[in-house]
Chains A and B, each alone.
Chain A
């Protein structure tokens, strides 16, 4: 029964294709229909998640601040995204007169395409990978690079100084954080011995002592890499505390300043879908993908575990947003280059040590030392460098 539920999406698709096939539909049309159904399902699921997150984020932020949050539209305010969508669609679509309107129009499209394309390689469940690539991880980051182009296009085409400044900040931030992001992902790929997401998930299967999941996040190097990946994921998806490309206090809304109506909604959607994609990648790389955390929980369908974990990671991102104030641009870049990058190298070395020290207690000790000591040294140096001291006023007294 549970095994059937686990395979339900696949079986349903095969049944449907079988029915179509019995009517004599040629195989190549079936292949196209199958692809379209998979694409439609994934986009539908992720847009649904986007809608849910947009309201849950506001509710969680509200609860952190001891407010109710949206609760007017529908039960518990769950239909708020519908109202938002109607509002966005019916809004006037403004294009500045001096804007480069072709680029201005294309930017949201270019933003949306990579956000949806990266969803193709995530392993959603047991045997549920839409596109099985040898170099799936590489595909994820390669396609994700398109986002930077979109941000630049949006910022430059708006012909607005805030937009350009916001776009430049965003690009500087994305390029800086992409490096530790990719290196920390490579760490997981290195231990798994493959760049394919499903192979990485398979490498995290099994339970130590019968109950401890062997996820990468539960090893010293894996924890460090997951930590770095998580921070860089926050920066890559432009989320607080790294949301200063849109810092409203200094840049109005960054590259989104001149966007309104549905184009703005498209950016918003792409940002959230991208955030979910990177949460899914995080789950795949470090949290065991679709695998259950405890052996007896295996009866829950694997895709439930995947989406459950991804939603949990998304929740922690909202939690971080509710907690940490926005960084300053120089602190942000210094953090990327002077802390995250050396730390990702340390995680890399630590993983290598783990591999060559035989994955036993000795490996634990050495890999912990290799990530722990740089963390303490760099972290202390960083904390002292940017320590908040008593402010002395020169002119006001």
Chain B
């Protein structure tokens, strides 16, 4: 059937079908009613960096050694690190201050790429709006430190891989240390044995 105005009738039929359909088929309504319904984020979604710690205590389990590579690499320079020092003024392998200004951060993940200690990782939080323009958007150390369990919660695959690598590194290091110790011990034995044999 093709007569003048038939196109408009076809169009009206389409809109009517959509309107009635939205009441019958729930699949049509793709809107997520946000505060009540939470989105299930894909595993690889990321927002801003955070710091991983092992075990229970954030301070002692901190992986960060304050090497400042991330601070140097950060393109918008939003990371600020001060190395901790003990009473004698000797530098310690942990940061005293670790701030990330997420108002500046562009979520590029370069800090994650460069971190040699698997300490800095990307978070999934997205409800970061606040009434405070300056303070609330600078995340300090207590806010940034999150447990390895949390990391496993948000990025399971990546966390497992990291853990495996860390474990392998640790084993290798232990093996290397053991080998070194054995070598030293062996040399000692040789040294100890030689004088007796020399004279």
Residues of A whose CB lies within 8 Å of any CB of B are: 60, 63-68, 319-320, 322-324, 375-376, 378-380, 382-383
Interface residues of B in 22-57 (CB under 8 A from A): 22-23, 28-31, 33
Chain A residues with CB below 8 A from B157, complex form: none
| Bound: A323/B31 CA distance, A | 21
B8–A375 CB distance below 8 A: no
Picked from A68, A324, A379, A382, the residue with its CB within 8 Å of the CB of B33 is: A68
Chain A residues with CB below 8 A from B28, complex form: 66
A376–B14 CB distance below 8 A: no
**Chain A CB within 8 A of B19 CB:** yes
Smallest CB separation, B133 vs chain A (Å): 24
Smallest CB separation, B199 vs chain A (Å): 97
| Bound: A63/B31 CA distance, A | 11
A379–B29 CB distance below 8 A: no
Chain B residues with CB below 8 A from A319, complex form: 12, 15-16, 19
Chain A residues with CB below 8 A from B29, complex form: 66-68
A323–B11 CB distance below 8 A: yes
| Bound: A57/B16 CA distance, A | 14
| Bound: A64/B18 CA distance, A | 5
Chain B window 1-13, contacts with chain A (Cβ cutoff 8 Å), 1 for yes, 0 for no:
0011100100110
**Contact count A vs B, C-beta below 8 Å:** 46
With A319-B12, A323-B11: A60-B19 Cβ-Cβ less than 8 Å: yes
Chain A residues with CB below 8 A from B23, complex form: 63
| Bound: A393/B182 CA distance, A | 80
Who on chain A is nearest to B12 by CB?
A: A323
With A323-B8, A324-B8: A64-B15 Cβ-Cβ less than 8 Å: yes
B31–A65 CB distance below 8 A: no
A383–B4 CB distance below 8 A: yes
Residues of B whose CB lies within 8 Å of any CB of A are: 3-5, 8, 11-12, 14-16, 18-19, 21-23, 28-31, 33
Who on chain A is nearest to B14 by CB?
A: A323
Who on chain A is nearest to B18 by CB?
A: A64
29 residue pairs bridging A and B, Cβ less than 8 Å apart: A60-B19, A63-B19, A63-B22, A63-B23, A64-B15, A64-B18, A64-B22, A66-B18, A66-B21, A66-B30, A67-B29, A68-B29, A319-B12, A319-B15, A319-B16, A319-B19, A322-B15, A322-B19, A323-B8, A323-B11, A323-B14, A323-B15, A324-B8, A375-B4, A376-B4, A378-B4, A379-B3, A379-B4, A383-B4
Chain B residues with CB below 8 A from A68, complex form: 29, 31, 33
| Bound: A322/B15 CA distance, A | 7
Picked from A66, A320, A376, A380, the residue with its CB within 8 Å of the CB of B22 is: A66
Chain A residues with CB below 8 A from B18, complex form: 63-66
Who on chain A is nearest to B25 by CB?
A: A66
Given contacts A63-B18, A66-B30, 15 further A-B contacts (CB under 8 A): A64-B18, A65-B18, A66-B18, A66-B21, A66-B22, A67-B31, A68-B33, A319-B12, A320-B12, A323-B11, A323-B15, A324-B8, A375-B4, A380-B4, A383-B4
| Bound: A380/B6 CA distance, A | 11
Chain B residues with CB below 8 A from A60, complex form: 19
Chain A residues with CB below 8 A from B15, complex form: 64, 319, 322-323
Chain A residues with CB below 8 A from B12, complex form: 319-320, 323
Chain A residues with CB below 8 A from B8, complex form: 323-324
Chain A residues with CB below 8 A from B33, complex form: 68
Picked from B3, B16, B30, the residue with its CB within 8 Å of the CB of A376 is: B3
| Bound: A323/B33 CA distance, A | 26
Chain B residues with CB below 8 A from A379, complex form: 3-5
* Most central of B11, B14, B22, B33 by chain A CB within 10 Å: B22
| Bound: A63/B11 CA distance, A | 15
| Bound: A322/B16 CA distance, A | 9
Who on chain A is nearest to B33 by CB?
A: A68
| Bound: A324/B33 CA distance, A | 29
Chain B residues with CB below 8 A from A323, complex form: 8, 11-12, 14-15
B11–A324 CB distance below 8 A: yes
| Bound: A378/B3 CA distance, A | 11
Chain B residues with CB below 8 A from A375, complex form: 4
Chain A residues with CB below 8 A from B31, complex form: 67-68
Who on chain A is nearest to B35 by CB?
A: A72
| Bound: A330/B81 CA distance, A | 66
| Bound: A264/B158 CA distance, A | 55
Who on chain B is nearest to A379 by CB?
A: B4
Chain B residues with CB below 8 A from A67, complex form: 22, 29, 31
| Bound: A255/B23 CA distance, A | 37
Chain A residues with CB below 8 A from B5, complex form: 379
* Most central of A66, A378, A379 by chain B CB within 10 Å: A66
With A323-B11, A324-B11: A64-B19 Cβ-Cβ less than 8 Å: yes
| Bound: A67/B21 CA distance, A | 11
A382–B4 CB distance below 8 A: yes
